[in-house]
Structure 1
Amino acid sequence: MPVIALTQGMGSLAQDVAEKLAADLGLQNMEHEVAARVADKMHVSKSLINRLRSGKAGLIEGLRADKDAMAIYTAEEVLDAAARGNVVIRGWGATQLLRAVPHIPCIRIMRPLEQRVEWLMEKLGTDDRDLARAEIQRSDQANAARMHDQFGVNWGDPVLFDMVLNTERLSVESCVEQIKNLLKRPEFAETQASKTLLQCMALSTRIRVALSNHADTHAVDIATECVDGNVTLRGIVADDAEKAAAVRVVQGVAGVKSVDSQLRAFTDARHFPTNRR
């Protein structure tokens, strides 16, 4: 069940590569659906999610937005889609969220700035080069800032990717063939171990979402370890009530078979670093 993660720089032709790759291999091409699902979970408009991600949100919108919630809901969508398999995921931090999974190639599609400017001018039907250049640079800056804030990485660092393809020199068709060839290599063969790892990553993210969404556990910050649906919880909580609530919430998450609580609670919640009471 192939899964391919691609970057999404404006005008790089990553969309064209993703669409042809999905068509050739019979895969789902996932990109725009994420915004709608994240917006629904956050009870905001899809346009706000897109403005936040593209750097177009106003100051007040940016201050009011729950960026932590957006990050965790995005991770949930990407990891669940990857765990289902047969998908090309473009953007949404997929190349970093899925980098730890050995069978998933993480690929950067790039193109020189001036070619991207020409592309946008054509799409907009304008001869205003300065406008097009400013728009692409703003988009790049938003992508770089988001990747740094969320993952602590430099978005343009080539070592983050298994393959970097330059559409100035390679056609879309050639890029697709290169990726298809990469999928055939033994390094990217899906194994039971890599499949289990991905499933555990997806389950851990669903657990984080469930804890953050529940009134009794929304402030809980604990570590989870998952092995074939058996979950171990580690960390410190405010008191025994919060400890019991965390276990109860995790037990209710789809895919969880058992919960081993190694949580430790303060004897007096008033002493917890962030007072819950």
Structure 2
Amino acid sequence: MPVIAITQEMGSLAKDVGMQLADSLKLDTMRHEVVERLSEKMNMPKSVIRRLREGKAGIVERLTADRQKIAVYSAEEVFELANRGNIVLRGWGATCMLRPVPHVVGVRITRSFEKRVDWLMENLGTDDRGFAEDEIRRSDEAHAARMHQQFGVTWGDPLLYDLVLNTDRVSVASCVELITQLTRRPEFQETEASRAMLADMTLTARIRAAFKDNEATRDTKVTIESHGGQVSLQGIVISDAERGAAQQVAAAVQGVTGVDNQLRVMSTSRRFTSAKY
């Protein structure tokens, strides 16, 4: 069950590659599912989520948006989709989140700045090159900031990917062929171990989202580890009530078969919320 994660870089032709790849291999694609799910779970207009991701949000939207919640919920969606298999995932940090999974193919599609600007001008039907350049730069800066904030990586680092393709020199059709060849190589075949790893990561993401959903655990920041349905909670909480709530919320998540609650309660003399971060 191939899982292919592709970067989303404005004007790089990554969308064309992803769509043709999915069509060629008969795979599903991640289209607007993540935005729709985030909008539903956060009671936030889809337009606002898109503006936040694209770096177009106004100051009020930036100040009031819960970026951590967006990151947690979007990660849950990406992992759930990847766990189903037979899919092309484009953007949303999928290449970074799924990097540890051996059978996931991580691809960066890139292109020269000039060609990307030409692409945007053509698609917008404008001859204002300065405007198009600003849009490309703004998009790149927003992507780079989000990747650094969420994953602590430098966007564009070739070591993050299994394959980097430059559509200045490689056609969309050739990109599809090269990625297809890589999915068939022994290194990227799904194994019982790689499948279990992805299932564990998906369950962990599901639990983090459940914590965000629950008022009692919304601000709980602890280490969550999942192994075959068995979940371990480690870290510091400020009260017995928070410790109990964390276990209760985790135990109720679909796929959890047991919870090893190793959370420690902060002593009364040091019980300050900021102290556990």
Q: TM-score, normalised by structure 1?
A: 0.96
CA deviation map 1:175-232 (0-9, x unaligned): 0000000001111111111111111111001111111221221121111121111111
Q: Post-superposition shift, 1:275?
A: 7.1
Query: Map of 1:1-277 to 2, 5 A cutoff?
Result: 1-268=1-268, 271-274=270-273
Aligned equivalents of 1:3, 1:98: Cα separation in 2: 9
Deviates more, 1:257-266 or 1:15-24: 257-266
Conservation of the 8 A alpha-carbon contact between 1:7 and 1:108: yes
RMSD: 1.3
Q: Post-superposition shift, 1:26?
A: 1.0
CA deviation map 1:215-270 (0-9, x unaligned): 221121111121111111111111222211111111100110111111212353x6
SS of the counterpart of 2:29?
strand
The letter for the 2-side match of 1:115 is: K
Aligned equivalents of 1:266, 1:132: Cα separation in 2: 53
Structure 2 gaps of 5+ residues are none
The letter for the 2-side match of 1:271 is: R
The letter for the 2-side match of 1:229 is: G
CA deviation map 1:99-130 (0-9, x unaligned): 11111011000011111111111111111111
Aligned equivalents of 2:41, 2:245: Cα separation in 1: 22
Aligned equivalents of 1:34, 1:208: Cα separation in 2: 16
Where has structure 1 moved over 3 Å in runs of 4 or more? none
Q: Post-superposition shift, 1:32?
A: 2.2
Conservation of the 8 A alpha-carbon contact between 1:31 and 1:91: no
Aligned equivalents of 1:149, 1:6: Cα separation in 2: 19
Aligned equivalents of 2:219, 2:56: Cα separation in 1: 29
The letter for the 2-side match of 1:230 is: Q
CA deviation map 1:112-150 (0-9, x unaligned): 111111111111111111111111111111111111111
Aligned equivalents of 2:148, 2:224: Cα separation in 1: 24
SS of the counterpart of 2:104?
coil
Deviates more, 1:216-225 or 1:85-94: 216-225
CA gap 1:275/1:59 in 2 versus in 1, 3 angstroms: closer
The letter for the 1-side match of 2:82 is: A
Aligned residues: 275
Structure 1 gaps of 5+ residues are none
Aligned equivalents of 2:39, 2:191: Cα separation in 1: 34
CA gap 1:275/1:113 in 2 versus in 1, 3 angstroms: closer
SS of the counterpart of 1:105?
strand
